């Protein structure tokens, strides 16, 4: 700690250079945090999905194809009921509210099954009763309510893009849950959507809850075997697999993020190393003087590395603080459609901090070792 004033003064010796280096590192760390947050948001659904025993039945050709309504009878029949309960039609609506930029995740569901199926959602009994009794009712997550400043009792209109329908919905209640992402969702009734679509009985997926983990493979086998030779063959998967297929659609996103992260780190190290090399070169005589005073090579090395580390950590504080301010407090999302919530999570913060520490140490190590190893008499003779 007693060397801190020396380290600090050296770090800010050339203010413009330090500010530019600091800004560069902070910007790159911000990019790293941004990309990692994007990845963690994509993976968040997978994480939530893994904690439930929900099973999804979709068309074997994928989500673009529809399932038949007649499948519901089989799914609610005795054979499947032994292994699953709360069978629920589940259609992603894909409409916007007032402006195409406002695209909350809206789902058309069976009111009777949805509450038990999504039992992590806390819904007031009275609100749920209204949802069950009112065809145009919608239940809205608390964060979504706050986002659009909606009130219970308000009527809102969604403009369909995927379906040719514009449901007018009455907000009858609000739900909360642990995961803020789910609080950005809204549910309305499948039968109302069907009515708007002239009773075409379009079902994109069926969801249900397996009675136990052991029932999941049995359900996959039974349901897919039942539909194998029909006009609508199915693929039965867990909710986690369902979430994962969205990630697959985006390509090998983990590899892309890892690549960007490595590149960011490399540029950070090169940039800081350049600054530290210049700083060390300018101070050859000073280092020799300090060693004449009795500083050991190890102490010189520590002072130079600490200086670089200090700059990197300040940059990390700026980047982390800035991103928390913009995303977590300010609620900014780069794409409200794909990322209704864009929250910087603690592991992302720790990774950014780790990257800054690694950059600080790695970039200064070579100039620091060279400075510490230089002969004192050579250093004293040097004219800078």
Partner 1 sequence: MAGPVVRVQNVSKTYYRDETPVPVLEAIDLEVAEGEFVALMGPSGSGKSTLLNLIAGIDRASSGRVEVAGSELSTLSEHALATFRSRHIGFIFQLYNLIPVLTAYENVELPLLLTPLSKSDRGKHVMMALDVVGLADRKDHTPRQLSGGQEQRVAIARAIVTDPTLLLADEPTGDLDKKSEEEVLTLLKRLNTEFKKAIVMVTHDPKAAACAARTVMLEKGTLVGKS
Residue 237, helix vs strand vs coil = strand
Least distance (Å) between residue 369 CB and partner 1: 14
Q: CB neighbours of 218 closer than 8 A, spacing ≥ 6?
A: 83
Complex with partner 1: residue 3 or 358, whichever CB lies closer: 3
- Please report where in the chains the tokens 């009794």 appear, as a residue: 133
Complex with partner 1: residue 5 or 251, whichever CB lies closer: 5
Sign of the alpha-carbon dihedral angle for 318, 352, 244, 139: negative
Mask of contacts with partner 1, 228-267, x by CB under 8 A?
A: ----------------------------------------
16 lies in the site for partner 1, by CB under 8 A: no
Q: Which helix (H) or strand (E) holds 89?
A: strand 84-92
Complex with partner 1: residue 4 or 350, whichever CB lies closer: 4
Q: Read off the tokens for 343.
A: 């929250």
Complex with partner 1: residue 267 or 297, whichever CB lies closer: 297
* C-beta of residue 261 within 8 angstroms of C-beta of residue 78: no
Phi, psi of 163 (to 5 degrees): -105, 145
290 lies in the site for partner 1, by CB under 8 A: yes
Alpha-carbon radius of gyration of the chain: 29
Site residues for partner 1, window 319-378 (CB under 8 A)? 375-377
Complex with partner 1: residue 255 or 293, whichever CB lies closer: 293
* C-beta of residue 115 within 8 angstroms of C-beta of residue 175: no
Piece of 80-88, 96-104, 267-275, 293-301 that binds partner 1 (CB under 8 A):
293-301
Complex with partner 1: residue 3 or 27, whichever CB lies closer: 3
Selected from 63, 159, 297, 353, the binder of partner 1 by CB under 8 A is: 297
Write down the H helix ranges in 2-134.
4-11, 15-49, 71-75, 78-81, 111-117, 125-133
Least distance (Å) between residue 377 CB and partner 1: 5
CA distance 260 to 158: 37
Q: Read off the tokens for 216.
A: 């999941």
Piece of 36-44, 69-77, 86-94, 282-290 that binds partner 1 (CB under 8 A):
282-290
* C-beta of residue 186 within 8 angstroms of C-beta of residue 127: no
Piece of 132-140, 189-197, 297-305, 353-361 that binds partner 1 (CB under 8 A):
297-305
Complex with partner 1: residue 297 or 353, whichever CB lies closer: 297
Piece of 4-12, 61-69, 266-274, 350-358 that binds partner 1 (CB under 8 A):
4-12
Query: Which residues lie near partner 1 (CB under 8 A)?
Result: 2-3, 5-6, 9-10, 13, 285-286, 289-299, 375-377, 380
């Amino acid at each position: 700690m007693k060397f801190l004033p020396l380290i600090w003064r050296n770090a800010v010796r050339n203010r413009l250079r330090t500010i530019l280096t600091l800004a560069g590192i902070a910007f790159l760390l911000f990019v790293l945090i941004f990309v990692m947050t994007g990845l963690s948001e994509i993976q968040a659904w997978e994480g939530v999905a893994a904690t439930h025993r929900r099973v999804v039945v979709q068309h074997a050709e994928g989500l673009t194809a529809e399932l038949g309504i007649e499948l519901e009878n089989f799914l609610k029949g005795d054979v499947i009921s032994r292994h699953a309960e709360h069978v629920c039609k589940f259609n992603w609506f894909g409409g916007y509210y007032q402006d195409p930029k406002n695209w909350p995740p809206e789902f058309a569901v069976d009111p009777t099954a949805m509450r038990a199926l999504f039992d992590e959602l806390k819904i007031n009994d009275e609100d749920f009763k209204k949802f069950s009794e009112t065809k145009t009712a919608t239940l809205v997550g608390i964060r979504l309510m706050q986002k659009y400043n909606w009130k219970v009792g308000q009527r809102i209109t969604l403009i369909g893009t995927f379906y040719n329908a514009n449901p007018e919905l009455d907000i009858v209640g609000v739900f909360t849950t642990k995961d803020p992402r789910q609080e950005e969702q809204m549910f309305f009734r499948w039968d109302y959507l069907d009515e708007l679509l002239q009773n075409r009985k379009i079902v994109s997926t069926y969801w249900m809850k397996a009675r136990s983990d052991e029932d999941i493979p049995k359900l996959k086998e039974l349901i897919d075997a039942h539909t194998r030779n029909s006009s609508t063959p199915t693929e039965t998967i867990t909710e986690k697999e369902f979430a994962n297929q969205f990630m697959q659609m985006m390509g090998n996103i983990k590899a892309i993020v890892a690549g960007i992260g490595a590149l960011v780190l490399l540029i950070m190290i090169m940039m800081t190393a350049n600054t530290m090399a210049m700083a060390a070169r300018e101070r050859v005589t000073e280092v020799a003087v300090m060693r004449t005073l009795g500083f050991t090579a190890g102490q010189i090395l520590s002072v130079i590395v600490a200086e670089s580390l200090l700059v990197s950590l300040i940059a990390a504080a700026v980047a982390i603080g800035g991103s928390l301010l913009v995303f977590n407090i300010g609620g900014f999302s780069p794409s409200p459609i794909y990322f209704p919530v864009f929250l910087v999570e603690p592991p992302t913060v720790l990774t950014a901090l780790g990257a800054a520490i690694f950059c600080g140490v790695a970039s200064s190590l070579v100039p620091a070792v060279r400075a510490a190893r230089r002969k004192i008499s050579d250093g004293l003779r040097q004219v800078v």
